[in-house]
Amino acid sequence: MIWKRQDLSFKYTKKYVEILLICAVACFFFKQTLLLVIISFPLFLVLFQLYYFRKVGNGLVFVNDKKRVRLMKGTTAFLELSFQNNGLPIWNGAIVLTFQDCIAPFDADYNSASGFYEVNVPFSIGYKKSVTVQIPVVGIRRGLSRIKGIEVNIPHPLTEGSIILNYEPYILMDAIVYPTIYTIKEEFYPSRLKSGELELNSSLFIDPYFPVGTRDYEPGDQFNHIHWKASAKTQQLQTKVFTKVANVSVLFLVNLADGYRMVHDFEKKIEWLASHIEACYKANVPFAFGINIRSSGKRPFIYIPIGSGDTHRVQALEWLSILSTSNITVPFENIIRYIEAHEELPMSAYILSQQMEKYQPILRTWEQKTSVNYLLEYEGENYD
């Protein structure tokens, strides 16, 4: 069963039917025609109400598509609920939507209790019609807000009474609020000694798949770099000119454990990491990050490997959005050893942790392979 039905005032309606039927039968036997006509009108309304209550909502379908609404703190968006109706029309109804308080209703009628918001919005839908209800919400705090319930309240159009439909399947739609992101003044310097994807004129490496022009052939040029069409046009050998590229990539490691408990500046460190990820994204710098919070899967901790682009950015920010102080941590030195043994180090690494002297001996080997930046505490001066 998709909708769980609850009838309000239904038993009283049955009593009205019984009383009116007895009165109608009595009028018929005693030949009270006028009184029978008068009684027939409310009897018809009550019988219509019984029929309506039994059938309404049977053809109502909620389109339960998987969808995630993404917000920043203080920004607004819409939760869109789509319905299709193949049964009796619903007039002057209402939808009660319940969701977690990472987001809040914006300019709507609502109630709040125990970490949840309940929003009431009008709802009407005709026979064989489709309706999309938009509920404005605003991001309140970092986190994931799941929709816990959808309730449709259907009043009778003529008499008192109503039907309440509770949607029972798991609701796939949710909303996520990203960490606060600040503008930072960090520069990520490329390496000219390793091939990559960043365009850099002083690099020693070229991108063989991205020619940008031609020049006259010079002794020593590779045979497969000759541009034969251009050579035929100019009647002189022409060599392809390629874009010069360099490697720039960053690894962020953040220690969120202070002994057996979370650090006191948990939220600030999450915002620090989110801001640096956003800076890498805007500069088209590939990045990776590791956090000493336990995770299931291939790695026993949260780790996003080197990557770039929109999908990589969204994946990283969504991980940071769902972290909580109730998560289980792992020793910070374990993720350092794991990355050294199983992952390729990028061109630079940023290590944000307290008690750095404890981990520096383990990181000495990293300093021979990459540029390591030690950050003892959250550095607010990096932000504008």
pLDDT tens for residues 123-168?
Answer: 999 999 999 999 999 999 999 999 999 999 988 766 667 889 999 9
Q: Which domain holds residue 38?
A: 6-55
Residues 107 and 218 in one domain: no
Cβ neighbours of residue 261 closer than 8 Å, sequence gap 6 or more: none
Report residue 77 CA to chain centroid gap.
12
**Shared-domain flag, residues 49 and 65:** no
Residue 241 included in any domain: yes
The position carrying tokens 């910070």 is 332
Structure tokens given for 271: 């915002």
Q: What are the tokens at 375? A: 């950050």
CATH of the domain at 297: 3.40.50.410
The answer on 141 and 47 residing in a single domain is no
- Does the pLDDT at position 241 exceed 80? no
Per the domain annotation, does 145 fall within a domain? yes
Q: Phi first, then psi: give them for residue 209, nearest 5 degrees.
A: -100, 5
In a domain, 266, yes or no: yes
Return the C-alpha torsion angle 296, 302, 305, 310, nearest 10.
100
Are 227 and 238 spatial neighbours (Cβ–Cβ below 8 Å)? yes
Would you say residue 175 has pLDDT above 50?
yes
Least confident of 15-24, 65-74, 207-216, 364-373: 207-216
**163 occurs within a structural domain:** yes
Is residue 320 over pLDDT 60?
yes
Inside any domain, residue 359: yes
Q: Which of the residue ranges 73-77, 238-242, 289-293 would you say has the lowest mean pLDDT?
A: 238-242
With 0-12 / 13-18 / 19 or more C-beta atoms within 10 angstroms meaning exposed / middle / buried, residue 203 is buried
237 and 286 both lie in a single domain? no
Residue 199: is it exposed, middle or buried by C-beta count within 10 angstroms (0-12/13-18/19+)?
middle
Rounded CA-CA distance 122/135 in Å is: 11
In angstroms, rounded to a whole number, what is the distance separating the alpha carbons of residues 15 and 21?
Answer: 10
Q: To 10 degrees, the CA torsion angle through 275, 277, 281, 282?
A: 20
Residues 256 and 362 in one domain: yes
Q: Residue count of the chain, please give it.
A: 384
Indicate the number of domains in the chain: 4
166, 212: one domain = no
Q: What mean pLDDT comes out for the span 169-182?
A: 94
Could you tell me if residue 196 is inside a domain? Answer: no
Q: Backbone dihedral region of 355: left (phi > 0), alpha (psi from -120 to 50 degrees) or beta?
A: left
Residue 119 lies in a domain: yes
Does residue 374 register a pLDDT over 70?
A: yes
Mean pLDDT of the 58-69 span: 93
Q: Please answer whether residues 147 and 135 qualify as being in contact, where contact means their C-beta atoms are separated by less than 8 angstroms.
A: no
Residues 139 and 213 in one domain: no
Considering only CA atoms, which of 181, 182, 185 is closest in space to residue 321?
181
Residue 1 lies in a domain: no
Q: Specify whether 51 is located in the same domain as 72.
A: no
Residue 264 shares a structural domain with residue 322: yes
Residue 82: strand pairing partners: 132
Residue that is last in its domain, among 230, 246, 262: 246
Same domain, 299 and 216: no
CA angle 347, 349, 355 (to 5 degrees): 160
More confident call, 33 vs 333: 333
- Bridge partners of 165? 5, 152
Q: How many C-beta atoms lie closer than 10 Å to residue 170's C-beta? A: 8
In the listed set 246, 272, 296, which residue is the last one of a domain according to the structure? 246
Residues 261 and 378 in one domain: yes
Backbone φ, ψ for residue 382 (5° rounding): -75, -15
Q: Is residue 287 within 8 Å of 306, Cβ to Cβ?
A: yes
For residue 348, the model assigns a pLDDT of 84
Domain with residue 114: its CATH number is 2.60.40.10
CB 81 within 8 A of CB 62: yes
On whether both 151 and 216 belong to a single domain, the answer is: no
CA distances from 67 to 103, 149, 183, 241 (A): 16, 16, 29, 46
Amino acid at 370: T
